[in-house]
Amino acid sequence: MEEIQEKAVRVSAVVVSHNSATALRTCLQALERSQDRQQLEILVVDCGSRDESPHLDADFPNAQFLRLPRHFGFTKARNIAVRTAAGGFIFFLDPEVEVAPSTISTLAAHLESDADAAAVCPFLFDPAGQPIAGLYDLPTPRTISRAWRQDCFGEPRTVLATGSPIDVEHAPIAALMVRTYFIKGINYLDQRFPHSWADTDLCFQIWRASKKIRLLPEARAVWYRDKNAVRSLESGARALLSSDYALGAAAFTAKYSGLLAGTRARLGLLWNALGRALGAFLRARDVGYNFSRLSDLLSGRRLDGTQREF
């Protein structure tokens, strides 16, 4: 009986959550309204949340909750879910994203009919109905440092919300459906990127395999992205996230451009962090955050479960 049920699973939705109970509830309610719900498996990985997230399983008995004792980073959490998943497609979804009822079936149908596509993503809108610019070209060693300083990969691509599928290089893992066998074929998401850059690495792996990531304008989702969420954290937690992002950038550069390029990238990021720390000291503004980030970078601290800030 279990075997028949497993074969019926078409898509496994993987939602990784940390202290986001309100958004997670809305996200799961939207998933429960999906077309062909009986073919959808919902896997929620909770990363040591201290809010109401660990108690939501009573409200969503048809979702499977996997609980980690600490926040090991999103990459490990996603890999745990993928190893558990029964679907032929993995739909990575952030708790802040609310899908339309037809979104998942539309994405899955396209993957079933398009052999060149390894991944597909929906068109993301903000709560006011405005398109969200979240599509970028893959970074190069020259743009890595800018990505850390500006928290983006440069100017996002402008796409229309109507028309044929659009090929993109880098799509946000906030809402991305990938063939399960492709993820397993690259030995899962690279845990050298415990929290940041694993999504970029996945997109690069797809590009290197001569496969496509396609944006489907007819598939819609709303992204309740809180741009101030990180700023509301304590300075130590913000510093650790920034350090993790910078170290991930250097590791990404080393992986695809060589050890020397990776070392140069890390030294450049350290130099930038040192300059910011000195500037903060002279201005007497945000000193704790900047010096904590510099210390984390020097010691190589990542968001990997050993930290106390989360």
pLDDT, tens digit, 9 for 90 and up, residues 69-83: 989 999 999 999 999
Residues 6+ apart with CB under 8 A from 207: 138, 169, 213
Q: Please tell me whether residues 239 and 219 are part of one structural domain.
A: no
Q: Please tell me whether residues 98 and 40 are part of one structural domain.
A: yes
pLDDT greater than 80 at residue 47: yes
State mean pLDDT over 290-306: 90
Task: Assess if residue 309 is contained within a domain.
Answer: no
CATH of the domain at 106: 3.90.550.10
Task: Assess if residue 229 is contained within a domain.
Answer: no
State mean pLDDT over 178-205: 94
Q: Please tell me whether residues 277 and 192 are part of one structural domain.
A: no
Element containing residue 270 per DSSP (H, E): helix 259-283
Q: ∠ CA(207), CA(140), CA(209), 5° rounding?
A: 15
Contact present, 90 and 82 (Cβ < 8 Å): yes
Q: Please tell me whether residues 248 and 133 are part of one structural domain.
A: no
Structural domain count of the chain: 2
120 three-class SS:
strand
State mean pLDDT over 212-219: 94
pLDDT greater than 90 at residue 57: no
Query: How far, in Å, CA of 188 to CA of 75, rounded?
Result: 9
Tokens of 178: 């990938």
How far CA 28 is from CA of 45, 53, 87, 280, in Å, comes to 12, 12, 18, 42
Q: Please tell me whether residues 109 and 133 are part of one structural domain.
A: yes
Asked which of 201, 223, 245 is the last residue of a domain, the reply is 223
Task: Assess if residue 304 is contained within a domain.
Answer: no
* Cα-trace Rg, the chain: 19
How do residues 250-296 score in pLDDT, each as one tens digit?
999 999 989 998 898 888 888 888 998 999 888 888 899 899 999 99
Q: Please tell me whether residues 122 and 70 are part of one structural domain.
A: yes
> For the whole model, what pTM was predicted?
0.89
Task: Assess if residue 307 is contained within a domain.
Answer: no
Which among 284, 174, 272 is positioned nearest to 229, based on CA atoms? 174
Tokens of 154: 């440069």
Residues 6+ apart with CB under 8 A from 160: 217
pLDDT of residue 139: 81
Q: Please tell me whether residues 49 and 165 are part of one structural domain.
A: yes
Q: Please tell me whether residues 60 and 82 are part of one structural domain.
A: yes
Task: Assess if residue 306 is contained within a domain.
Answer: no
Burial of 277 per CB tally in 10 Å (0-12, 13-18, 19+): buried
Asked which of 166, 196, 223 is the last residue of a domain, the reply is 223
Q: Please tell me whether residues 125 and 253 are part of one structural domain.
A: no
**Sign of the dihedral through C-alpha 211, 109, 26, 56:** negative
Asked which of 163, 190, 223 is the last residue of a domain, the reply is 223
| Residue ranges making up the domain that contains 46 | 2-223
Q: Please tell me whether residues 68 and 215 are part of one structural domain.
A: yes
Q: Please tell me whether residues 12 and 153 are part of one structural domain.
A: yes
Query: How far, in Å, CA of 111 to CA of 107, rounded?
Result: 6
